[in-house]
Each structure stands twice: as C-alpha cells, then as structure tokens.
Amino acid sequence: MDFNKLFQLIIAASLINNFVFTRFLGLCIFFGVSKKMETAVGMSITFTAVMVISAALSWVVFQYIMIPLDLTFLKIIVFIGIVAAFVQSADTIMKKVSPSLYYKLGIYLALITTNCIILAVPLINSGEGYNFLESMSFGLGSGIGFALALIIMASIREKLELAEIPAPFRGMPISFIVAGLIALAFTGFSGLITL
Amino acid sequence: MGHTDKSNWELIKNGIFSENTIFRMAISLCPSIAVTNSLKNGFFMGVSVIFVQTMVNLTVSLIRGFVHPKIRIPIFMMIIAGYVSIIDMTMAAFARPVYKQIGLYIQLIVAFASIFARAEVFAVKNKLVPSVCDGLGMGIGFFLAMIVISFFRELLGKGALWGFPIVEGNPLLIMVLPAGGFFAVGLLMGFFNWMDAKIAERKSAGQAVEKQAA
C-alpha cells in the first residue's frame, strides 16, 4: 500500500484544492453556520464523518453494482440516494444510541442531505477513478479542509461582530469579502505538492 | 405559504427581484462564484438552472395529489436528479468545451437548496400554472445574477466578454482567480443593499412630504 500517495491526497484535498476556497462548494453552509465557533466545530465533525463514510459507501456501489451493470450514467441519482439514505439512517441510529450526541449534532445532519459538498466527494472520486482507500482519503482530506475553512471563518466573524462596518456591507457582503481574502491566502498553497 | 393569490406576472417578478436566490436569499451560492469567471460559463449555468427549476416545479405540481407527505423528500430528490441528469448529458453531448469546465457544477445543481425549497414550499401546494411561473421567475432571477457577476468578472479579469477581447491593457487578474469571485459577489451584494436603502429612504421622504401637504 502506498501511504505516501494517500498522505499527498489528504494534503492536496485539504489545503491546495480546498473545497471552500478553490472549488467553491458548500458555500451555503459555509456562510450559514460560521457565525459561532461552537456550531462551526460541531458542523465540521459531522461533515467529515459523513464525507468519509459516504465516500466509502458510494465507492462500493459504484464499483460492484454500477460498473458491472453499465449504469454509470445514473450516478447523480444513485449517489444522492446513497447519501440521503445514509444520513437518514445515521440520524435515526444516533437518536436511539446516543441522544446526547444527537442533541448536539442532530440538527446539522438534517442540513447535510441536500448539500453539494457531500455529493461532490463521490462524484469527483468516480470521475478521477480513485481506489477504495484513495476515495476515503480524499473524503477525509476534503472534510479536514472544510473544517479548517469553517473554523477560520467562524473565529474571524466572531470578531467582525464588534467591528464598525459600513451599513450596506453588514452581514453577508462583508463575509464574502473576508472569504475572498482568505481565499487569496490559500492560493499560496498551490504548488505545495504536485500529484 | 398556502395557495397563492398572486398573479402569474407577480410570481415571476418575485423570483427575479424580491426573492432573488443569490443576492436576497443568499442560497445556492456555490456556482455563483465557481462558474462566473466567464460570461459564457455563467450563461450556460443560468440556462440549466432555469430549465431544472421550471421542470421540477411543473412535475411536483402535477404529482402533488399522489405523493404521501412522509416520503416526499426522497421523491422530490429523485425528480430533481432526473432533470439534472438530462441537462448534464445534453451539455456533455452538445457543449463539450463548456461542459469540461463547469460539468461538476451542473451535476451539483441537484443539491441546490433553492430548487428543493421552491418545490417544497410552493409547487407542492399550488396549481400547475402558478408553479411554472414561480419556477420560471426563480430561474430567471438566478440567471440574471449569474450574468451580472460573470459580466463584471470577465470584463475586469480578462478585458473580454464571451471570449472576445474588448479592453486593451493589463486586466485585473485577481477577478478571475477564486478570491475575485468572493470579492465580486460581496461588492455586488453591498451595492444592492445600498440601493435598497436609498430607495427606501426616498420613499419614506416622499411619504413625509405627502403627509405635510395633507
């Protein structure tokens, strides 16, 4: 097993091709829940877990069911079905097994089903032809990258609350401009690793 | 929102202005930055969204009597995914160069909050014609937002429109970079907020004058 490659994938997915700042996925969540540190942390944990598991699940379905049956043209429909079914069952299981955890993270689970960032992981995996471990590493890397973005943004926005901002720019617009500045910083990572 | 009393024209206008997906509701933001680095990409993305949104509203409105409320979410998802697959394959066949750049984001229309939300809050409770108008309005609102953003980004970033060079000299490279997308949307949003505030101010000033006159 080539661990070097897996490590490179994780770094590349989290820093160089950061989902939020270079691929622009998950922006709704990114701007929606980055107001408070606590929610940002909860969201990042849930997202990373769901991404890794759904990457694994959809890889199995894609390799062993869809390719043999020549159904790859249905991948959008199938992947969203897998993600939705998984999230729904995780929701139910968590409610029964660990109500305290459900109370903390359950609301984020509901938001995940219709989120582009979760769906993008299996779509990119199948497009790039990653193997099982590579798919999971890509999921993990993307999750870490998203967590990083969310936590940076949340800590800045907590400070922004106290800043004096021109009236038309309060709220959303200033967050966009801050995100743009962070994205500019993230361009510095490009060229860190060449795959 | 129950049955709507608004006229069809009002529904379309509502989608374009007061509930504009990107500048007002601030949802479905991913493509607003990802594909707006050139006018062409923005145009194709916008057209795809108009198609999907209208067709989804149409279908959901047609089947609204048959779907049990408990299983409506998976069913809506499947309907949306079906239409997205159609547009995805059509673009892959007929607009290859554009598809190579924005293909991933076309596939991800399926996860658009705005499309699902309109099916859920509007189409499922309303008759066919209002639902189609609502979908059309929402779609056009999104389309116009894409056009405005990509117009500025391509003009400033490459000095070109639709791939044709217009302005000579050094363009602002930053506008086509990822960071520029965030700046463009942030500045445009701020501008629209400012305009709104100005219009509201003028209106209230006008009312005050009328009151004095009375």
Question: Which range, A95-99, B13-17, B31-35, has the best average confidence (pLDDT)?
Answer: A95-99
CA distance B71 to B139: 26
Chain A residues touching chain B at CB-CB below 8 Å: 21-28, 31, 73-74, 76-77, 80-81, 84, 113-116, 118-120, 123-124, 127, 166-169, 172-177, 179-181, 183-184, 186-187
- Determine the Cα–Cα distance for residues A59 and A133; give it in Å rounded to an integer: 10
Q: Do the beta carbons of residue B111 and residue A80 sit within 8 Å?
A: yes
Across the interface, whether the CB atoms of A183 and B28 are under 8 A apart is answered no
Q: How does pLDDT run across A19-62, given as a tens digit for each residue?
A: 888 777 877 777 777 777 887 888 888 888 888 988 999 899 98
DSSP 3-state of B164: strand
Count CB atoms within 10 A of the CB of residue A134: 18
Domain count along chain B: 1
DSSP string for A12-36: IIIIIT-TTTTS--SHHHHHHSTTS
In a domain, A8, yes or no: no
Each residue's pLDDT tens digit, B149-161:
888 888 888 777 7
Mean pLDDT of B76-85: 88
Counting residues of chain A whose pLDDT is more than 90, the rounded percentage is 3
Q: For residue B120, give the nearest of B175, B76, B65 by alpha carbon.
A: B76
Q: What is the pTM of this model?
A: 0.80
pLDDT digits 0-9 by tens, A66-84: 888 888 888 888 888 888 8
Note whether A26 and A116 are within 8 A (CB): yes
Strand partners, B161: B164
Interface check B84 vs A, CB under 8 A: yes
- Assess whether pLDDT exceeds 60 at residue B1: no
- Non-local CB neighbours of B85 within 8 Å, separated by 6+ positions: A73, A74, A76, A77
- Report d(CA B46, CA B40) in Å as an integer: 10
Pairwise CA distance, residues B179 & B153, whole Å = 11
Q: Is residue B98 part of a domain?
A: yes
Cross-chain Cβ contact B193/A173 below 8 Å: yes
Q: Do A28 and B29 touch (CB under 8 A)?
A: yes
Determine, yes or no, domain membership for B1: no
* Per-residue confidence (pLDDT) for residue A114, from 0 to 100: 63
Q: Min CA distance, B39 vs chain A (Å)?
A: 18
Tens digit of pLDDT for each residue in A142-163?
Answer: 999 989 988 888 888 888 888 8
Which tops the pLDDT comparison, B25 or B117? B117
Cα–Cα distance for residue pair A67/A53, rounded to 1 Å: 20
Q: How many residues does chain A have?
A: 195
Distances (CA, A) of B181 to A20, A184, B169: 12, 11, 21
- The three-class DSSP label of residue B28 is coil
Q: Token pair 């606590």 is at which residue?
A: A38
Interface test with B, best of A78, A172, A176, A181 (most B CBs within 10 A): A176
Decide if B2 is inside a domain: no
**pLDDT score at B51:** 92
* B181: chain A residues, CB-CB within 8 Å: 24, 180
Residues B172-208 have pLDDT tens digits of: 777 777 788 888 888 888 888 888 888 888 888 877 7
Residue A171 CA from chain centroid, whole number: 23
From the list B33, B20, B173, the residue with the least C-alpha distance to B102 is B33
Asked if the structure places residue A175 within a domain, the reply is yes
Q: With an 8 Å Cβ cutoff, are A177 and B81 in contact?
A: no
* Cross-chain Cβ contact A184/B190 below 8 Å: no
Residue A101 vs residue A143, higher pLDDT: A143
Range of the domain at B25: 8-213
Range of the domain at A96: 28-186
Tokens of A137: 């590493």
pLDDT confidence of residue B185: 85
Structure tokens that stand for A127 in this block: 């497009």
Q: Is the pLDDT of residue B20 over 80?
A: no
pLDDT confidence of residue A160: 84
Q: What percent of chain B has pLDDT over 70?
A: 95
Please give the structure tokens belonging to residue A24: 């622009």
Chain A contact for B172 (CB, 8 A cutoff)? no
Q: What does pLDDT average to over chain B? A: 82
User: What length is written for chain B?
Assistant: 214
pLDDT for B78 beyond 60: yes
Residue B3: per-residue pLDDT: 58
A152 φψ region: left (φ > 0), alpha (ψ -120 to 50), beta (else): alpha
**CA quadruple A86, A87, A92, A96: dihedral, nearest 10:** 100
Q: Considering its fold, how many domains does chain A have in total?
A: 1
Residue B53 above 50 pLDDT?
yes
